Amino acid sequence: MEDNESEVMKVEMALDVLDGTRTSGTKGSKLSVEKRHVDVKQRRKLFKNFARLVDTADEVEKKVMENLLSVQRCTERQREMIVGPIEEFRKELWERFEEIGRDKWPRSVLRLMREQKLQTVEGLREQCERGSLVDRSSTKEGEENHQDELIWFKEEKERLEARIQECEAEKLRSEKLMRRAQRTVEKERKTSEELSRSLQQATRVLERLRRYGGMNQCFHSRALIF
């Protein structure tokens, strides 16, 4: 009984965070209200997409590295300076996602919502408050344990929300670094193309000078004969 209720309270944090109703300081209240009414099927899809996004973070790092390798004048040290922060962010994001159990908690809540035929977290929260999901213990010890669990889950929720905000800030910094890296790649590519054109032009001039020198030597030899 208490295990099911504890599971519900534990995962409300994950739903609130991914809904953007608690941690997004820049979004409007209208958008937050709309996100609260996402149905169970859509929520499940959002959680899966978020987990897939974390799992594919290393592909972004590989893509940046491939773009840098395509530029001949970009040294290994320059590549490490650009890709290093992205790699560090990817590792930290993956580790923290593992710490909160990936999408285990959201799946548990969604399963419970599906069993209770609920479409919103508010509905699930109201049923928990009314005690209509499970039979609550009326003993004093049970009430004290319940209060302790609520306090612990509230603290845990605040801690995880703070971590997610840190990840969002780090994500913005990494995106800025990635844009800078892309500009560097484009600049190096243009430089490489300009050097290639200059080399081709110099080669053509050299060939013309060689032909001119050969013709001049031939005329000089004939003049000596006559």
**pLDDT at res. 11:** 45
Which tens digit of pLDDT belongs to each residue from 131-177? 666 544 444 555 666 777 888 888 888 888 888 888 888 888 888 88
**pLDDT at res. 7:** 46
**pLDDT at res. 226:** 54
Confidence of residue 8 (pLDDT cuts 50, 70, 90): very low
- Backbone φ and ψ for 205, nearest 5 degrees, come out as -65, -40
Q: Is the pLDDT of residue 5 over 70?
A: no
Q: What is the mean pLDDT of the chain?
A: 69
Which tens digit of pLDDT belongs to each residue from 78-132? 767 777 777 777 777 777 777 766 666 677 777 777 777 777 767 777 777 776 6
**pLDDT at res. 46:** 66
pTM over 0.85: no
**pLDDT at res. 32:** 44
User: Which residue intervals of 37-139 are DSSP H helices?
Assistant: 40-55, 57-69, 76-99, 104-115, 121-130
Confidence of residue 4 (pLDDT cuts 50, 70, 90): very low
d(CA 67, CA 58): 14
138 HSE (CA, 13 A, CB side): 0
Residue 177 structural domain: 2-225
Angle at 161 between CA 173 and CA 49, to 5 degrees: 70
Which tens digit of pLDDT belongs to each residue from 37-72? 456 566 666 666 667 767 676 777 677 767 666 665
**pLDDT at res. 161:** 87
Q: Write down the residue that tokens 């892309």 correspond to.
A: 182
Number of domains the chain contains: 1
